[in-house]
């Protein structure tokens, strides 16, 4: 198993190759959709210190930065941590994939087709979109509001059921159509979903009730 090590200046290199019986340090693992041929960083790129200009390098940089934030020094990414020119190693990696995902301390599911852009802080209607629309409703200005509010055991507001803008994209994400998705979703103890802006959408537990198309 080839684990990536992120240096303090953000450079990536391989740690010592680990055998099945070697103790494995805590590591993060990435689940994602592959880009076009030539876009992903390869095993050779990491070995030679190249590939930073490739589109897929952003995923590696993000995974390393997120792992460091979570207190993890090591990470594993299938695009660049398998020497695919070595048929024996490739076969072993495929057969070990479930175990590697299961043993990961954190699994980041990077959804490149789900967008959750940051909110503009200079616009109160954008900063608190749902809250502002809720409180400015005419219902709060009527004379009977307080009595009706206090007299009910529970109040069910439609606002509570509003979905996030990105949820429709999440349900239709191509990530759910991959052959490896099921094991990468179920094997790890911790699974976090992140948007194309690398913003956290939720974890496996919080998004369990989201219906996938």
Predicted pLDDT of residue 131: 45
Predicted pLDDT of residue 30: 92
How many CB atoms are closer than 10 A to CB 9?
5
Residue appearing with tokens 């939720």: 202
Q: What is the pLDDT of residues 70-110, one digit of tens each?
A: 999 999 999 999 999 999 999 999 999 999 999 999 999 98
Predicted pLDDT of residue 80: 95
Q: Whole-model pTM?
A: 0.70
CA 168 to centroid of chain Cα atoms: 16
Task: Enumerate the H helices of the chain as residue ranges.
Answer: 43-48, 57-69, 87-103, 124-127, 129-135, 145-150, 167-171, 181-186
- Whole-angstrom Cα distance, residue 197 to residue 113? 10
Predicted pLDDT of residue 60: 92
Predicted pLDDT of residue 72: 94
Please name which of 86, 71, 60, 62 lies closest in space to residue 3, comparing C-alpha atoms. 60
| β-strand pairing of 74-76 with 191-194 | unpaired
Local confidence pLDDT in tens for the 213 residues of the chain: 999 998 888 889 998 788 777 888 999 999 988 888 889 999 999 999 999 999 999 999 989 999 999 999 999 999 999 999 999 999 999 999 999 999 999 999 988 888 877 555 444 444 344 444 444 455 545 555 555 545 545 444 444 445 677 777 777 787 777 777 778 888 888 888 888 888 888 887 776 555 554
């Amino acid at each position: 198993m080839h684990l990536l090590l992120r240096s303090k200046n953000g450079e990536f290199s391989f740690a010592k190759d680990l055998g099945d019986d070697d103790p494995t340090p805590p590591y993060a693992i990435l689940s994602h959709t592959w880009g076009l041929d030539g876009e992903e960083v390869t095993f050779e790129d990491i070995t030679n210190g190249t590939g930073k200009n490739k589109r897929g390098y952003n995923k590696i940089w993000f995974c390393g930065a997120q792992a460091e934030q979570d207190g993890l020094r090591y990470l594993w990414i299938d695009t660049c941590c398998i020497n695919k020119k070595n048929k024996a190693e490739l076969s072993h990696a495929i057969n070990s994939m479930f175990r590697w995902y299961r043993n990961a301390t954190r699994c980041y599911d990077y959804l490149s087709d789900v967008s959750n852009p940051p909110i503009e802080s200079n616009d109160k209607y954008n900063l608190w979109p749902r809250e502002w629309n809720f409180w400015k409703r005419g219902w709060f200005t009527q004379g009977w509001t307080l009595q009706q509010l206090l007299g009910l055991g529970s109040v069910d507001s439609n606002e509570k059921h509003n979905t996030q803008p990105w949820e429709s994209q999440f349900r239709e994400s191509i990530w759910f159509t991959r052959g490896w998705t099921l094991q990468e979703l179920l094997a790890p103890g911790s699974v976090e979903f992140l948007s194309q802006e690398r913003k956290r959408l939720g974890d496996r537990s919080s998004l369990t009730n989201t219906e996938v198309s």
